[in-house]
Amino acid sequence: MKSFLGIATVFFLCQTLVFAQSKIGGEDFLARLNSDSSAQVIDVRTLEEFSAGHLPNARNVDFKKEDFLKQMEGFNKEQPVMVYCLGGSRSAAAAELLASNGFTQIYDLEGGYMRWTVEKRPVDGIKEVKEVVVGMPVDEYETAIKSDLPVLVDFTAKWCAPCKAMYPTIRKIESEFSGRALVKVIDIDVNKTVTEHLGIKYLPLIYLYKNGEIVWQATGAVSEKTLRDAITGQLQPVVDTGAASSSGQF
């Protein structure tokens, strides 16, 4: 009898967790936000990510912080909680943790903020990039990527919040590798011939070319170190001719 009760209890708890959380697409997520004024929108990314752009009425509670659950105590466990992160992994973990801590209605945004912006859904807090991005027709693009230098191509759009968040990093990399690598920033909305030619569907997207061939690529937000390492790996080693001639005198 005790064994039966134990199994029944475990089954009940599992069922409760299943029904407490649900992963839904952007269309359903937005519909719930618009129809339910009691919905609590939680951005579980870092404050830096949140500051670069976020969903309307969202509040930032960093899932990676030790006091995540402590901060969540200020939210109503009986009302809907709408969680999201950049791509979906952190929000999925957060949803599971919240369900196990008594939250009864949790909706996790499938694809995260990245897919949300690609689908051009409403966002708040985006700062416009004032610098003019570089664009070109297909023939010029094909010529540019055949340079003897590594060519980093950053595909972006005005509505892509993660792209804008990366823009300062892209410009820093451009300055750092000036004369050793080329950096091109392509706005997909004003360069449709290039983007259609390449079949680009998701942002952020970065290609690194060497002699016209893609040698590295990344989808999603990329760190400064990752970009630096990718370009450095394609640079020709510098030969110190002075040192070579000096050593030849001995």
pLDDT at 81: 97
Is 85 one of the annotated active-site residues of the chain?
A: no
pLDDT grade, residue 11 (50/70/90)?
Answer: very low
- Of 118, 160, 206, 222, which is the active-site residue? 160
Cα separations in angstroms, 15 against 68, 81, 102, 161, 167: 25, 18, 13, 37, 44
Average pLDDT over residues 152-181: 87
Average pLDDT over residues 128-148: 71
For the ranges 2-11, 56-65, 128-137, which has the lowest average pLDDT? 2-11
Question: Which of 47, 74, 37, 246 lies closest to 165, judged by CA?
Answer: 47
- Of 98, 99, 157, 163, which is the active-site residue? 163
Q: Is 240's pLDDT higher than 60?
A: no
Angle, CA of 57, 62 and 68, to the nearest 5°: 110
CB 34 within 8 A of CB 57: no
pLDDT grade, residue 135 (50/70/90)?
Answer: low
* CA 30 and chain centroid, separation: 19
Q: Which domain holds residue 12?
A: 2-118
Residues 161 and 201 reside in one and the same domain: yes
* CA 33 and chain centroid, separation: 22
Share of the chain above pLDDT 90, in %: 49
User: Considering the chain, what is the average pLDDT of its residues?
Assistant: 83
Residues 157 and 81 reside in one and the same domain: no
pLDDT at 126: 65
Average pLDDT over residues 98-127: 88
Q: Answer whether residue 15 is part of any domain.
A: yes
pLDDT at 246: 36
For the ranges 26-30, 77-81, 173-177, which has the lowest average pLDDT? 173-177
Q: Residue 170 CB: number of other CB atoms within 10 A?
A: 22
- Structural domain count of the chain: 2
Residues 204 and 108 reside in one and the same domain: no
134 φ/ψ angles, rounded to the nearest 5 degrees: -90, 135
Residues 79 and 9 reside in one and the same domain: yes
Tens-place pLDDT, residues 184-227: 899 888 888 888 999 998 889 999 999 999 999 999 888 899 99
Is 163 one of the annotated active-site residues of the chain?
A: yes
Q: Answer whether residue 238 is part of any domain.
A: no
pLDDT at 202: 87
Strands (E) in 9-113, as ranges, are 21-24, 40-43, 59-60, 81-84, 106-109
Q: Which residue has the higher pLDDT, 234 or 2?
A: 234
pLDDT at 48: 77
pLDDT at 96: 95
DSSP symbol at 219: E
CA dihedral 79, 117, 217, 171 (to 10 degrees): -110
Share of the chain above pLDDT 70, in %: 82
Q: Answer whether residue 243 is part of any domain.
A: no
Q: Answer whether residue 127 is part of any domain.
A: no
Domain boundary residue, one of 88, 118, 148: 118
Q: Is 242's pLDDT higher than 70?
A: no
Q: Which residue, chain included where needed, has tokens 């390449």?
A: 198
Q: Is 0.75 topped by the overall pTM?
A: no
CB 84 within 8 A of CB 112: yes
Q: Angle formed by the axes of helices 89-99 and 2-20, to 10°?
A: 140
Q: For the domain that residue 25 is a member of, what is the CATH number?
A: 3.40.250.10
Average pLDDT over residues 15-38: 82
CB 156 within 8 A of CB 203: yes
Cα separations in angstroms, 147 against 44, 130, 180, 231, 250: 41, 28, 11, 14, 39
pLDDT grade, residue 44 (50/70/90)?
Answer: very high
**Judging by DSSP bridges, how do beta strands 213-219 and 21-24 pair with one another?**
unpaired
